[in-house]
Structure 1
C-alpha cells in the first residue's frame, strides 16, 4: 500500500501536533492513528511530532494516496499532482452535511468530484445524499461509475468516564457553533422556559469566533448559564459529559451526529427534533423526539427532573442496556476497519 497524505479539515499544527478539538481536527487525528506517520498537506514543509507537513506541490503521486477532506477541491488537487506526469490517487472523505452546499456551483462541484474520485462518507445517510447528488447533477457516463462506501464515524469508547450526576441538572448545547443550521435561538428559547419551571444550569462550549456573538454574550450574562471555549483536552471533554444531565438538539440536519452519540454514551439524556437524521442515530420508538418547541420544553423538563427514570426507560427500550446498544452501533473500530478496507480496495497495487 502506498503512503497516505491527508488534506483539509481546516486543521492547523501547533507544538508539533494537530491543534483543536472540532470535528475536522478530531477526524484528522483519527486518520493519523489509522495510518501512523501519514503526512498532512499544508502551506509549508515542516517536521511535526511523528509526521511531516508537506505542501501539495511536493507530494509524490507515485507513492502517495491523498485522502481529501475538502472534497470539492479534488479536481484541482488532481491537476496539481498530475503535473508530475503520474496518475494521482485521490480519495474523497465526506465528513460533513451536504446541505451546507446550497449554491448550484457548489453542488455541481461536489457532484463532479464524487463522480470522478472514490468517496467515503461518514454515515449511510451521507452516502445516500452523495449518490443522489451525483446522479442528479452529472451525466450518466460518470454517475454510473461512482464508487461510494461508508461507515458511521463512531466514538472512542475508551474515553468514556464514570457517570456522576450533578446536584443542579446540567443542560448542554450540543454543538460548538451558533450557525443557523443548528437553530441556536430555538435552544435558547426552550432552556429559558425550562429554567423558569425548574433549576438548571446551561453549558455552552463554543469555538472562539462564536464566543463573541450576540447570542453567546447574552446567555453568558445569566447566572444559571456558563458560556466558554471548547474544552482543552479530550479527557476534560469526557469529564464534563459524565456530569451532563441532558442535551437539547435543535439542528435542522446532520450528516451523522458525533457529539450527540458521545453525550448519550456518557449518560446524558438526549432530546431530539423528530427528523430523519435523529432517527438514524436512535432505536425505534425513542421517546424523546419533539415536533415543536412546546413538546421540546416538556421533554427537557422531564429529562432534567427525572434523569434516572428517563435512562431506565431507554434501557427498557433497548432490551436492557441503552448505552450498550449505542456502543454496539457507534464504535469507531468499525469505521476504521471499513475505511482502511475501502482505501485498499480502491488503490490496490500489483
Structure 2
C-alpha cells in the first residue's frame, strides 16, 4: 500500500509527550548542542534517543493498567492530552521519574536539531494505523517502534513489552498493533524556521531591515502560492507525515544574497494537492525580478542551526555582478552529505521565479509542481 493511501487513512489519534506512562525508567542524558562539523552525529543522536524512548515505553506497557491507559489515550486527541499530565493517576514518583526522563530526551532531540533546550515536549506517540485498533481493543499486546527517518530501510526495529527487539518488514503493514514514537515536527518546524531566519540574518543573509526603504506606502507585490503537490514516492508504513519549508533566495536591495525561509506545515502528504493561497515571495525585499525556491522536508532529523550555517557559508561567497545569478545550485551544494543518503530532505526546486510568473510551474527534479500568481498586498 502506498504511503499516501496509508497517510490519508491513518488518523493521528494521539500526539502526546511521553509523560506518566511507565515506571520511570531512566534515559541517557542528552549530548551537548552539536557544531556543524558534528552534524552527522547529531542526526544519529535523534534516532538513538527515539529508539531508547520506544524501548522504555514498550517495557512500561507490561503493566496492564498502563497499557489500557495508553489504549484509551490514543483513541482521541483529548484523551491523549489528558494522559500527558503528571496527575494522570499514576504514583507520583513514577510519573515524575518518567516525566524527568522524557524531558531529558526532549532536550537531547532539541539539541541535535540545533534548537533551544527550552522548546518543551517534542516526543509524541500514536498508533501506526487505524486498522490495528481492533486487535488492540481485543487485548493484543502492542509493539513500540519509532517513525524512522530512513525511507529505504527494509526492516523496522520494534520492542515488545519484555524489552526485546523485533524486526518488522518495512514494506508490509503489521497485523499486530504498533505504537510509533515520533517527534512533533510541526512544533520543531516552527522553532526551526525562526532559528533559521535569525541565524541567516546574523550571518548577513536576509538582513531584517533591508526592505524598509523599499516598502511603498500603497503596498508591495508578492507571489502567491495557490496550489502545490509533491509526488507519491511509495514510502513505507512507518513514516509519519512530513513537515516542509522553502528557502527562497535572490539578491536583496543591498546587493547581498538573501534567503527567506517560508514554513509550509500543511504540505504533509505525497500525492495530495494543497491550496494554501500563501505568499511565497515578497518582491519588495529583492533587487532583481527573479528568485529561486528550494523545497525542504524536516523528517525529524533536520539540524536547523547546521543548515543555516552551511547555507550562509556558501552564499556569502557569491557577489552581485549586476545581473541575476541562479542560487539553487549553491543552496544544494551547502546541504550536509547525510541529507543525500538515507532520507530526501531536499524535495524539489524551482529556478527563475519572476514577479510576473503565473500558472503551473513544474519543479526541476520532476518531483512536484506548484501554481502561482502575482498578488498585490495593499496597506490598510
**What's the TM-score bracket when you normalise by the shorter of the two chains?**
under 0.3
Q: Name whichever structure is richer in strand by fraction.
A: 2
Flag the structure with more relative contact order, 1 or 2, with Cα contacts below 8 A and sequence separation at least 6: 2
Report the TM-score when normalising by structure 2: 0.25
TM (normalized to structure 1)? Answer: 0.27
Say which structure is richer in helix.
1
